[in-house]
Structures are given as structure tokens and as C-alpha cells.
Chain A
């Protein structure tokens, strides 16, 4: 099987590639905005307790780095934001209409971040140690609050609140029963014009009723068809809706846009759940936010390990060696803690959540297909994976080859030929996991050796310099698994990627030019950090 061709075969391939480049630039930088305030705060606390100038110097250097990465990170955020507007306008419209609250609140988080980060940087020589600690705490709060809000929207896209997956580890796939299904609260006025029996025969389940309306679980193939028709400006008379509307009501409704009917139902659903909470109740939110923050701190910690190792290798001033060593030890301890927690706690949590809410993705991640060389199968760890994920060796992992290719489509619409996620995910996921294990073991061995040996070997320092690249690569692979694994959905179970996409995409040449500019900015940033942080550090030597 040509795995790359499979991934490219979903709609809007070029736009997806451009989005990966833009968002990865933002995320690569953003991890430091999330991680550095924590490092600064801990270093300042250590300084306040010990009065050891090395901690103060470390905090000052990290604050300077934070100033640089925050400015470019904010610009890359603007780029991502407008990139979403012009490349994925329809999903953004849906987000603005139904799950706007975290994006709305994010502006306050951003204000907190920018105010306190720059207050810390510009006011460094004008404020005392207690004020610095307070400011770094507020900067940390702003950055993590911002991350928590944005991750809730992303989590909703991975597994929307109210989704019921199509898999049971005891009995297997449940596509024949209409799963996956989406929870909707249909207003009573709308219920009154619908042929409920017909809908029930199509797989709809009534799960309750109240003053807000009737709660139903609707097969996501019907939901995605309605969403497709909504953004295709189809009228009720030409829609599948006309098949389930009572004859006496149809005449008056057939001139309406499907979008208006869908809007009434989704607005009512969101209002019933609570518009401020709807994204935070996503079944994958908790694991997602912890995993993202953990990743950010891990990357920051390994970057410190790499940077201070480089300074130890290149520096000639013995007087500075103590400071570099302190920075290296700080980095390696933090890296060891975070990578362990990431793998054993947060990684496991998100894995279990994905298994429960998006089993198709899990099947692709585990490569349970006969058409590829499965690493988990060849390593003989399938039953172990079942135990880790479901808590039972007897539980069955979802089989990729048994996924219904058309589970996201109703009568050929939306125009998706294969609803299964890309199998390339299997190799991305196992590369990520393998590299994480390798990096984790290396950090453990290095920490033991460094403490036991006292002195630091040159070879190990050279390897240390490569650890930030490895950490960034793992983080990138993690995002790739998360985002590519959702395809062909943009919002799992609700909106497919062709619907989310712009009606007027750019040409390949202009996309290539934009990609080139984004990559150049990333390189310029690396060069700037090298020149502005690393070189002066050597100059002082």
C-alpha cells in the first residue's frame, strides 16, 4: 500500500501541507512560550532561597529568550489564525458560531501573557526578586491558560462532546447500528415536523427529553451529510432532510436553507450543554491539555540541556563553567521528570481517551491492517497494547481492515471515497513512541552518569546537543499523529475536510512561495537565537 498516496488522496492536500508548515512553526516556537515561564519561575525561586547568582543569571537568559520567541510566536499565531480564515473558512465559521467561547476568552489570556511577559523582560532591572517571581507566575498562568483554551477547541475537533464511537472492544465495530453517533438536542418545534420513525429506522436513538427539546444520538453519516449540504447552500427541498420531514410541513420549509435548520439544532445543542463549557467537555480534553503542556516543558528542558552542553563544549572561561553545569543539571532533571510523566501518565491518558472516542484512529496508529507491515504485530505486543489501552489482555484492538470505508458518507456525499484514517499513522506513531523511549532512557542514563561520574564526558555533551532536535521531532510526530489521524474529518464525526476547505484555494506556486517564506522565518529565528543568545554567552567567556 502506498501510504503517502493514501494520505494525499483526501481532499485539499496542498492546503493541508501548507497548514502543517504554518501551524508547526507556531507550535515549535510556542512550546518555549509554555515552558520558559516555568523554568524562569523555578530558577528565581531557587535564587530567592539560595542567593546563588547562577540561578538569577539563568532566569535572566531564559527571560531574554522568552522575549524573542514570544514575539515571533505571536506573529506565527496571527499567521495561523489568518491561515485558518483563508484556507479553512468554513470550519472557522462553524467554530465562531458554536464553539467560539475559548477563542473569545483566549484574547484575555493573550493579554495576560503579553503584559506580564514583557513587564518581566522590560522591567527586569527595575523590580525586585519577589516581583519577578510573581510576574513569572502570572506569565506562566497567561501562557498555560491560553494553551488550555486553544487545546479545548482542538480536542473538540478530535472528539466532539457527545460523540459515541463505533467500537466495542468485546464485540468489535458497530457501523451496522449507525455508529459513530453525535449527540444533538433537537428543539421541540423541529421535532414536531420530523418523521421520527423514519429517523429511528436510520439509526437515530432518542436518549432523553426536556424543556430544551429531545436529546438524540444521530448517526454521524447523516450529520456529515447535513453539514455538507449546509455549506453547499442546499435548500431543504433538495436535501436529504426532505425525506424525513412530514409532508404537511415540507411545503412551507423546502425553500429554507439546510444551514438554517442545522443552525437551529446545533445552537440549541450547544446552549443546552452550555456554550462556555461545550469544548471543555470533549472526551479527550484532559489528556490533550496535559500531554500538550508536558510536551512543551519537555522540549524546553531538552533545549536547555542542548544549549548548556554546547556552552560547556565551546566555552573557555572556567569561571562560567559552574553556571553552565548548573544549567545543564537543571535541564536534565527537568527533562527526565517531564519525559517520564509524559510517557507513563499523560501519554497513557490520551491513548485511553482516543481508544474510547476515536477507535478508527487507534486502529491506524496500531497498524491493525494486513496491507502493511505492522510493528506491533511483528513485535508481538498486540495483547500487551490491548492491556495497556483497555485494561484486559482479552480485549480486541480495533481492526483497520474492517472499518467501513463509507461510514462518513451518506449516498456519496460528502465526496470522500475512503473514510478510514491514513495508515501512515502507524509508522509516525511508532517512530514517535520509539524515539521517546530512546530519549527517555538516554536522559536517565545521562543523569545517573553525570551524578555518579561528577565530570561530564565530551561525547555525551555532543549527544546532548542533539537532544533538542530529537525532542522537537517527537513533538512534531505527536502533532502529526493527532492531526493527520483525524482525516478525512476536520471535526470527527461532524465535518469532513472537503467541507471545511475554502471554495477558492490558491495555486501551487503561491502556496510554495508562502511555505518558503514561513520556512525562511523559522530559519531566521534560529539564526537570531544563535546570534543573540548563544554568541553573546560565548563572548562573555
Chain B
């Protein structure tokens, strides 16, 4: 694989894990705050605010990495971005406006915690939660289109029939799986925070939060186990991806162009899911654990959930390498010229823009990313661990 793809994978990986955490935190925090408001529980209120601070920081990280991904994409693959921009107005518009409203709601929710009337504050929390689901709606529509271009038409120029695109067989399972994966990861993350707090001293609020988040994790994990096979089956519509993921395990579809063998990554993902199930079962069904054991198990489940998301996204991404559009080899013969030629090169991940294909630029980028990740690490340390003067 070419180095540009690794850069995209790096920033996208960090972005997607942070975003997944955000979806669940922006759902759970407004619920906790609402419960604290109704019960007048100041400790629960404080707990919710603490978690929201974590969210604000991770969302900033997600935002930066998301921007980095877009900029890298534009610099390395400008023709692809130009092509995508010409045909994806509706899905991107949904995602962009949701991002704008989501950022606004973060600001309103965070700064309005004490100063807004409760109903206004809750309304901004509802906006926060809702937009966290509509952002991936737009992006996942684009992702499913990049699996198989349902709704792509030509009338002298390419365009997408949005309603047809919504019927993409990979769209619904991909979107729902993403949401439930996010809820599993985020609720396990909160359970870990609660378990960590319980190690420092018992409190009713933290115990209640710990149980609540574990319950959410169990339900969403169970649903994930149903949605995973659904998405896998939907990939039969993109034979190349299906074969690259499952080929070495004995399942394949005939007539597909070969690519990278990623069965090993799929196996890793399965192992990570098993680890999560084991940790969740130990935490819920098998009693008699010490607080430190609970923390260790919750942490194990959280880390494996994050890595499950990462491995799942990388499976999705690399299994169609070297194409942006997995089904390009299948649909190409039906595409009229000159679009067949244009799509053929603009949808190739190996067709990097000549000016940005400069080794010194890539080296400086690597150095810059390292320095700035260190700065972000220090930022997170100051925000969460450094004591006040």
C-alpha cells in the first residue's frame, strides 16, 4: 500500500473512535443531567458535568482529526473530492448542517449548565443527542454508496437519485451497526469511569451510573451481535469486499477481483468481541468481585470495544483497496465514456496527485503529527489530571 493511505488511516482511526465515544456520551449525559435535575441530586449533576468535559475534549480531538482527514483526502485525491462533491449534495448537507448544530449545542450545553433555565438547557441537550445521530446518517450514506453505487445515474453528467441511494443494501445495517457499536463503546467507557471513581470511595450515584451503563452496554452489544451478520450478508452485494474479508475463512463469492486478504483482521475483530462479551459477562453475571477487579474488567471491555470499532472501520476501508468505490470493477462496463475513464482514475487510491506525492512532505507531516499528538496528550493531562492552583 502507498504511504498516503496510512496517513488517512491514522487520522481516520483516531477520528472514528473519538466520534463513536461522542455519540453515546451526547446521549447519556443529557439523560443523567435530566435525572439529576428532577431528583435534585447535586452529586449526579457534578458527575454528568465531569463526563461532559471528557466529551468536549474528545469531540475537539474528533473535529481536528476529521478536518485532517478531509484535507489529506483533498490534497492526495483532488479528483475524487471533485467528483464526490458534484454528486453528494444531499448526504453531505445532512452531515454538515448536523455538525454545525452539534457544535452549537455543545457550546450551549456546556456553558449553559448553570446559567440556562432547565428547559432551555434540556432542549440544547436534545439537540446535542439528535445531531449526534444525524451526522453519521449523512456520512454512512456516502460510505454505503462507496460500497456499491446504488442510485448513480448519468444524463450527460453523473448524479445520485437520493431515494434510490437510501435503498442501498449496505446502508441500513452499516448505519445501525455504527450507532450500536458507539453505544456499546461509550457505555463501557462510562462504566469504567464510574468503576474508577468507586475505587476512590463508594457513592450511590456512581454505583447507579455504573449499573445503568453496563445495562446499556449489554443491550447494545446483544443487538450488535445481530447487526454484524446482517452487514456481513449485505456485503454479498460487494463481492470484492466480501471475499477479501471472508475468503480465507472459506466463504467467497465468485467472479470478484482479488485484493488484500483481510481475514486475519476479521479474526482479530472476532477475538475482540469475544473479549468484550467475556468481560461484560464477568461484570454482570458472575458476582463477588472487588472494586479494582470491576475496574480492570470494565477497562478491558472498553479497550476491546474501541479496538473493535477501529478494526471494523479498517476492515471496511482496506477490504476495498485499491478502490474508493468497492464495486467499481463490476459497474465500470455500464458507465458511459468519458466518465468510465474519469471514474476509473479518480476512484483509485493509488492515483495520488503528483504535487502532493512528495516524500519530504510526507516526512514533515509525520513529524508534525507526532509533535501535535504530544501536545494533545499534554492538553488532556492538564484538563483531567492536573490539580488546580
Contact = CB atoms under 8 A, between A and B. Distances in A.
B101 A532 contact: no
B176 to A, nearest CB: 24
Contacts of A532: 111-112, 115
A127 B382 contact: yes
A412 B36 CA distance: 68
A85 B90 CA distance: 12
B372 A111 contact: yes
A506 B99 contact: no
A517 B97 contact: yes
A380 to B, nearest CB: 48
B107 interface: yes
A86 B78 contact: no
A71 to B, nearest CB: 5
B361 to A, nearest CB: 8
B355 A125 contact: no
Contacts of B90: 506
A193 interface: no
A294 to B, nearest CB: 26
Contacts of B97: 79, 514, 517
B375 A115 contact: yes
A103 B104 contact: no
Interface stretch (A53-61, A91-99, A367-375, A418-426): A91-99
A521 B355 contact: no
Contacts of A518: 100
A81 B100 contact: no
B274 interface: no
Given A78-B100, A514-B97, A521-B100, A502 B107 contact: no
A123 B387 CA distance: 10
B82 A89 contact: yes
A123 B341 CA distance: 54
Interface stretch (A182-190, A302-310, A523-531): A523-531
B273 interface: no
A126 B382 contact: yes
Contacts of B78: 92-97, 100
B89 interface: yes
B312 interface: no
B157 A504 contact: yes
A77 B355 CA distance: 25
Contacts of A270: 355
A125 B388 contact: yes
B64 A514 contact: no
Given A89-B85, A92-B81, A528 B382 contact: no
B99 A68 contact: no
B89 A267 contact: no
A126 B355 contact: no
Interface in A60-83: 64, 67-68, 71-72, 74-79, 81-83
Given A74-B63, A524-B104, A528-B108, A502 B89 contact: yes
Contacts of A84: 85
Given A97-B78, A108-B372, A78 B108 contact: no
Contact of A115 (B96, B355, B376): B376
B368 interface: yes
A458 interface: no
Contacts of A81: 67, 70
Given A100-B353, A103-B71, A528 B112 contact: yes
Contacts of B75: 96, 100, 103-104
Nearest to A97: B78
B82 A90 contact: yes
Given A92-B74, A98-B355, A531-B112, A110 B67 contact: yes
A105 B247 CA distance: 41
Contact of B389 (A88, A106, A125, A514): A125
Given A71-B103, A72-B104, A104-B356, A123 B383 contact: yes
A384 interface: no
Contacts of B95: 82
Contacts of A88: 85
Nearest to A113: B64
Interface string B104-133: 101110011001100000000000000000
Given A97-B355, A528-B111, A79 B388 contact: no
B159 interface: yes
A432 to B, nearest CB: 28
B140 interface: no
Interface string B295-336: 000000000000000000000000000000000000000000
Nearest to B388: A125
A524 to B, nearest CB: 6
B86 A89 contact: yes
A242 B39 CA distance: 79
Given A92-B82, A100-B78, A535-B115, A107 B389 contact: no
B79 interface: yes
Interface string A216-257: 000000000000000001010000000000000000000001
A97 B79 CA distance: 8
A475 B53 CA distance: 35
A76 B104 CA distance: 10
A196 interface: no
A108 B361 CA distance: 13
Given A72-B103, A503-B157, A96 B353 contact: yes
Contacts of A106: 71
B92 A126 contact: no
Contact of A75 (B57, B103, B379, B387): B103
A86 B85 contact: yes
B113 to A, nearest CB: 10
B102 interface: yes
Interface in B328-353: 338-339, 341-342, 353
Nearest to A125: B388
B68 interface: yes
B32 interface: no
A103 B103 contact: no
A87 B82 CA distance: 10
Given A93-B78, A517-B101, A126 B342 contact: no
Contacts of A454: none
B354 interface: yes
B17 to A, nearest CB: 17
Contact of A78 (B67, B68, B338): B67
Interface string A390-401: 000000000000
B87 interface: yes
A536 interface: yes
Given A106-B71, A114-B60, A506-B93, A531 B356 contact: no
Contacts of A72: 103-104, 107
Contacts of A441: none
A93 B60 contact: no
A161 to B, nearest CB: 15
B71 A119 contact: no
Contacts of A504: 86-87, 89, 157, 159-160
A503 B96 contact: no
Contacts of A413: none
Contacts of A116: 375
Given A76-B100, A97-B78, 12 more contacts: A72-B103, A75-B100, A75-B104, A79-B96, A86-B88, A100-B356, A114-B60, A115-B375, A122-B57, A267-B354, A275-B358, A504-B87
* Top-8 shortest CB links A-B: A89-B85, A93-B82, A96-B78, A75-B103, A96-B74, A85-B85, A97-B78, A100-B75
20 contacts: A71-B107, A75-B100, A79-B97, A82-B92, A88-B85, A89-B83, A90-B82, A96-B75, A96-B77, A107-B64, A108-B372, A111-B376, A112-B375, A122-B382, A125-B389, A127-B389, A128-B389, A502-B89, A503-B87, A503-B157
Interface of A: 64, 67-68, 71-72, 74-79, 81-90, 92-98, 100, 103-104, 106-108, 110-112, 114-116, 118-119, 122-123, 125-128, 233, 235, 257, 267, 270-271, 275, 502-506, 510, 514, 517-518, 521, 524-525, 528, 531-532, 535-536
